[in-house]
Amino acid sequence: MPVLSEQVEFRMAHHTHTSGSRDIQMARSMCWHCQSEMSGEYFCERCVKVQPVSKETDYFTCFGLPRRLTIDQSKLEAKFYELSRAFHPDFYQNKSEAEQTISLGNAATLNTAYRTLRDPIQRAEYLLDLEAGSVKEIRTSPPSDLFEEILELQETMEAYRASDRASQAGHELRAQLIAEQEALERRKRDMEQQLQRLFTDWDTLQDRGDAGAQARAERDRLLKHMRDILSNRTYVKNIVNDLVATIG
Amino acid sequence: MARIVGIDLGTTNSLVAYMKDGKPCVIPGRSGRTMVPSVVAMTDNGLIVGDPAKEHLTRSPDRTVYSVKRFMGRGLADVQGELAYFPYSLTEKGGVIRIKLGEKTYSPPQVSAMILKELKQRAEAHLGESITKAVITVPAYFNDSQRQATKDAGLIAGLEVLRIINEPTAASLAYGLQEKTQGTIAVYDFGGGTFDISILKLKNGIFEVLATNGDTHLGGDDLDRRIADLLLHEIRAGHHVDLNAYPDHMQALRLEAERAKIHLSDNLKTQVAIELPDGTSRFSRELTRDQLEASVMDIIERTLAPCRMALKDAGLTPADIDEVVLVGGSTRMPFVRHRVQELFSKQPHWEINPDEVVALGAAVQADILSGGTTDMLLLDVTPLSLGIETMGGVMSSVIRRNTTIPASAKEMFTTYVDGQTGVDIHILQGERELAKDNRSLARFRLKVPPLPAGVPRIEVTFLIDANGILNVKASDMRTGQSQSVEVKPSYGLSDSEVERMIEDSFKFAQEDVTARKLIEARLEAGALITTTEKSLSEGSRLIAPDTLASIRAAVAALASAKDGNDPKAIRARMADLEQAAKPLSVAMIDDSLKRSLQGKKVTEVT
């Protein structure tokens, strides 16, 4: 039956970001309500109606921040609270349906933006996405320097799952897995430190505002390096999660 | 803007509150009590709600519904384990539980609507205006179906539900208003049927929920059952009688267990007594606080795992918590307070009545929505991850738990075979890996133009609004056309069903009026009998013996009519009695006049 097959036969495509369009800070030119030219940020200066946050507005812009990887958390939070007070549906109960819809959409976007920027890793992934297209390709094979180790670890996990947990062998395998988990977590922390240095390099480069060929090459090198470490880190993180679930 | 009231629709008790001069206050009923027991009874004269219905728990257990909140947004399979505890019969239709009351069956939202109507009328009587808008609270850990069912209940009761808000966060609003607190607080909300823990950050009037967790089937009800089970056992062993066969005695046992539990919060021991079905013997024993604690300890321990989970999700340790607030009647138990204090190493707060604090907070939120309070804002989260079923029956998470709401996520869908014209999407809620282990929320079918596989691009937007309720939109990215999505809830009433229930509720309103008339007539008849008897004791000497006899006969006739169910008959006997007693009142007035005139001259009188 074709109907039956369709029930399961679909797949999810990943979000497609046409990275070019993100770069253009295209301001909405007109207020949706009074059609006057927009000069205010989120509210029309003439009729004071709330304006939808444009799809082209990236999260950094939304918070009035430059595209940097080091962010002052308390400033970010203060801005989040300020914008929440501006957009939250609680304050639009007496407004028109159009304004309520805009408030709901804006608040949802704001919440996603805050969640993304608040976390250094998500922030970096998002920036990479903006600067160089999606990084969300999930790594299915281990990074080359980890290949042997991961293969061995997977065998140990298999053996442990099959073993009698209470037996001597079970205890030994468990101890082995715990040691491996610690090693992987150390590695993850190393990668995070490495990332931190790259973040600083990125910010320094951006602050210089150099548009020369050398700076561009440096920019691309940094982005590629960050992307590699981020994807390796995600891989290691998933393995650690697996390990934790196995050890229980 | 019309007034918005705040309603706490609880498992065992419900309350309504409003904002008066910048302060929330709970609206009492005529008796002065603020709590309306969440009990609905079907009597021969229609439905009755609250305190009068509670009396029917033991009189007609099969037609008296309590703890209906446990069934909101659930299917029969979800409550299989506790069916034995409920004396009324439950069935299921269209994924929704139905409760049989006499001839008719009712959905849980309909029963809840009866409680809401009672609160609505109470507010209308108190405020002298029509009430059509409300904020209703739900346990923070309620899923989408349970929230939707609550919203439906509001609609059926004739209330526009402007916001569904979480009980622990509502409580934090009430505390925040009072204290103007800053810092990180944990709200431990242990009610009649549900448990919630919420961790919030309070800063400059913003109440940001960091994490929430809980169990929507864990509450005071479970404690009562445990005590009742203990007594049941002892009665079986000592008297060789199984009370399970006697629904009325089971209800009495449950109520006695609840009473003992409450008593043991302030006392170290209590006497428990149950009449046995043989009508002559009774079971009685002493129950100490220690014994109670030992038998319910594991239930209370079950509240601690969600607390630790919420702390972990918030990225905090107990030491990071500045204040702990206790909400819900079950937090009156000293053992609960003790365990909470141990977990957080902090003396918890309970300055605001734990039974009323949620309703008070709902009133604050109502005031925010109506524009009265502008300096406070609640940023709540979705308690459970939202996802969709992907190939292999795995749940793919779309919006993670503890995401601030409103929250939205977009997913792109395409086809897998050439010419496929639809994609079925199954929406889930929960934290488990496999789709089948999570809560099925709804299914819908995306319409797709027949094209080669992989060419169509349909973007689906999942939006969780500020009520924590899911909305779905879809649009074809190739044509830019949006399509309406008809989401079929897995455990909910369809729109047309809700509409029909709203119509029905007008019919019930008629029956309600009959029940109300009966109650009022009985009250007035009682008052008339009392005053007549008082007059008789003072003035019987003033009237002829046959007049006295006819008054006594009329009193007896009224007393028997009062025990019946016909308000008209009661009114008629009241009129008879008034008629019969007229000579008495005339004689008494004459007598008092005579006495006051004694010793006065005729000229002074005229």
In a domain, A138, yes or no: no
Least confident of A134-138, B5-9, B549-553: A134-138
In a domain, A234, yes or no: yes
In a domain, A124, yes or no: no
pLDDT of residue B517: 75
pLDDT of residue B491: 81
3-state secondary structure of B346: coil
Instruction: Using an 8 Å CB-CB cutoff, list chain A residues near B165.
Output: none
Instruction: Using an 8 Å CB-CB cutoff, list chain B residues near A9.
Output: 391, 415-417, 420
What's the average model confidence in pLDDT over B369-386?
92
Last residue of a domain, one of A100, A118, A136: A118
Nearest to A27 by CA among A45, A10, A15: A45
Q: Considering only CB atoms, which residues of chain B are within 8 Å of chain A? A: 1, 162-163, 203-204, 206, 208, 365, 368-371, 374, 377-379, 388, 390-391, 396, 403-417, 420-425, 457, 463, 465-466
B392, A7 contact by CB (below 8 A): no
Note whether A59 contacts B: Cβ–Cβ < 8 A.
no
Instruction: Using an 8 Å CB-CB cutoff, list chain A residues near B416.
Output: 9-11
The pLDDT confidence band at residue A15, using thresholds 50, 70 and 90, is very low
What's the average model confidence in pLDDT over B303-331?
95
Interface test with A, best of B206, B397, B444 (most A CBs within 10 A): B206
Same structural domain, A40 and A102:
yes
CB contact under 8 A, A112 and B407: yes
Same structural domain, A174 and A92:
no
pLDDT of residue B216: 87
A153, A182 contact by CB (below 8 A): no
Nearest to B567 by CA among B143, B46, B183, B125: B46
In a domain, A15, yes or no: no
Closest CB from B377, B390, B411 relative to A84: B377
Decide which of B497 and A135 is more confident: B497
In a domain, B605, yes or no: no
- For residue B228, is pLDDT > 70? yes
- For residue B348, is pLDDT > 80? yes
Of A90-99, B299-308, B489-498, highest mean pLDDT: B299-308
CB contact under 8 A, A8 and B1: no
B411, B462 contact by CB (below 8 A): yes
CB contact under 8 A, B417 and A13: no
Alpha helices in B143-219 (DSSP H): 144-156, 167-179
Least confident of A22-36, A62-76, B17-31, B446-460: A22-36
pLDDT digits (tens, 9 = 90+) for B178-190: 665 689 999 999 9
3-state secondary structure of B97: strand
Torsion B282-B288-B291-B297 (CA) sign: positive
Instruction: Give B117's Cβ-side CA count (13 Å radius).
Output: 25
Last residue of a domain, one of B240, B274, B299: B299
Mean confidence (pLDDT) of chain A: 81
Q: Please identify every residue of B annotated as catalytic.
A: 8, 69, 167, 189
pLDDT of residue B179: 60
Place of tokens 């904002």: B19
Closest CB from A13, A89, A107 relative to B412: A13
Domain containing B442 equals 384-493
Same structural domain, B392 and B530:
no
- Which amino acid belongs to residue B292? L
Task: Provide the b/e sequence for A90-119 (b: ≥16 CB within 10 Å).
Answer: bbbbeeeeebeebbbbbbbbbbbbbbbbee
CA distance B363 to B162: 12
What's the average model confidence in pLDDT over A71-91?
94
Nearest to B62 by CA among B88, B90, B83, B97: B88
Chain B nearest-CA distance from A12, in A, is 5
Contacts of A32 (CB under 8 A, 6+ apart): A49, A51, A52, A98, A102
What's the average model confidence in pLDDT over B124-145?
94
In a domain, B170, yes or no: yes
What's the average model confidence in pLDDT over B563-574?
86
CB contact under 8 A, B206 and A11: no
Instruction: Using an 8 Å CB-CB cutoff, list chain A residues near B391.
Output: 8-9, 11
- For residue A22, is pLDDT > 50? no
3-state secondary structure of B309: helix
Angle, alpha carbons B299-B173-B154 (nearest 5°) = 75
Same structural domain, B208 and B293:
no
What's the average model confidence in pLDDT over B404-433?
89
Q: Is the complex ipTM more than 0.90?
A: no
Closest CB from B405, B416, B421 relative to A11: B416
- Which amino acid belongs to residue B456? P
pLDDT of residue B180: 59
Same structural domain, B68 and B183:
yes
Same structural domain, B23 and B126:
yes
Same structural domain, A196 and A239:
yes
Nearest to B485 by CA among B444, B425, B426, B442: B444
Same structural domain, B307 and B261:
no
Chain A nearest-CA distance from B306, in A, is 18
Interface test with B, best of A59, A90, A99, A121 (most B CBs within 10 A): A90
Q: What is the CATH number of the domain that holds A103?
A: 1.10.287.110
CA distance A121 to B423: 34
Instruction: Using an 8 Å CB-CB cutoff, list chain B residues near A114.
Output: 404
Find the length of chain B: 606
Decide which of B235 and B422 is more confident: B235
Closest CB from A14, A81, A94 relative to B371: A94
pLDDT digits (tens, 9 = 90+) for B37-61: 999 998 877 788 999 898 888 888 8
CA distance B236 to B253: 13
pLDDT digits (tens, 9 = 90+) for B240-298: 899 888 988 998 999 999 999 999 999 999 999 999 988 888 899 999 999 999 999 99
Token representation of residue B314: 């918030």
Total domains in chain B come to 4
- For residue A169, is pLDDT > 70? yes
pLDDT of residue B181: 65
Instruction: Using an 8 Å CB-CB cutoff, list chain B residues near A15.
Output: 410, 412
Torsion A147-A148-A149-A155 (CA) sign: positive
Domain containing A163 equals 144-247
Total domains in chain A come to 2
Token representation of residue B67: 């703890």
The pLDDT confidence band at residue A10, using thresholds 50, 70 and 90, is very low
Same structural domain, A175 and A101:
no
pLDDT of residue B600: 60
Report the Cα–Cα distance between both ends of chain A, in Å, rounded.
Answer: 42
The pLDDT confidence band at residue A11, using thresholds 50, 70 and 90, is very low
pLDDT digits (tens, 9 = 90+) for B438-471: 899 888 888 888 889 888 888 889 999 999 999 8
- For residue B396, is pLDDT > 60? yes
Q: Is B271 exposed, middle or buried (0-12, 13-18, 19+ CB in 10 A)?
A: exposed
Nearest to B370 by CA among A82, A108, A103, A95: A95
CA distance B410 to B388: 12
In a domain, A7, yes or no: no
Q: What is the CATH number of the domain that holds B536?
A: 1.20.1270.10
pLDDT of residue A199: 95
In a domain, B606, yes or no: no
pLDDT of residue A134: 59
The pLDDT confidence band at residue A138, using thresholds 50, 70 and 90, is low
State the helix-helix crossing angle for B495-539 and B567-597, rounded to 10 degrees.
Answer: 30
Instruction: Using an 8 Å CB-CB cutoff, list chain A residues near B457.
Output: 13
Radius of gyration (C-alpha) of chain A in whole angstroms: 24
Chain B nearest-CA distance from A89, in A, is 7
Contacts of A33 (CB under 8 A, 6+ apart): A44, A47, A49, A98
Instruction: Using an 8 Å CB-CB cutoff, list chain B residues near A107.
Output: 406, 466
pLDDT digits (tens, 9 = 90+) for A208-227: 888 888 888 999 899 989 98
Q: What stretch of H or E contains B46?
A: strand B46-49
Last residue of a domain, one of B379, B410, B430: B379
In a domain, B563, yes or no: yes
- For residue B63, is pLDDT > 70? yes
pLDDT digits (tens, 9 = 90+) for B575-596: 999 999 988 888 888 888 888 7
Closest CB from A84, A94, A111 relative to B1: A94
Mean confidence (pLDDT) of chain B: 89
Angle, alpha carbons A42-A47-A48 (nearest 5°) = 40
Decide which of B597 and B207 is more confident: B207
Note whether A104 contacts B: Cβ–Cβ < 8 A.
yes
Note whether A97 contacts B: Cβ–Cβ < 8 A.
no
In a domain, A130, yes or no: no
A65, A71 contact by CB (below 8 A): yes
What secondary structure does DSSP assign to A183-237, as a single string? HHHHHHHHHHHHHHHHHHHHHHHHHHT--SHHHHHHHHHHHHHHHHHHHHHHHHH
B462, B469 contact by CB (below 8 A): no
The pLDDT confidence band at residue B494, using thresholds 50, 70 and 90, is confident
3-state secondary structure of B30: coil
Closest CB from B208, B417, B463 relative to A108: B463
Interface test with A, best of B408, B451, B457, B482 (most A CBs within 10 A): B408
Contacts of A114 (CB under 8 A, 6+ apart): A63, A76, A80, B404
Place of tokens 């299915």: A140
Last residue of a domain, one of B270, B299, B328: B299
CB contact under 8 A, B413 and A12: yes
Closest CB from A13, A90, A111 relative to B414: A13
What's the average model confidence in pLDDT over B160-165?
95
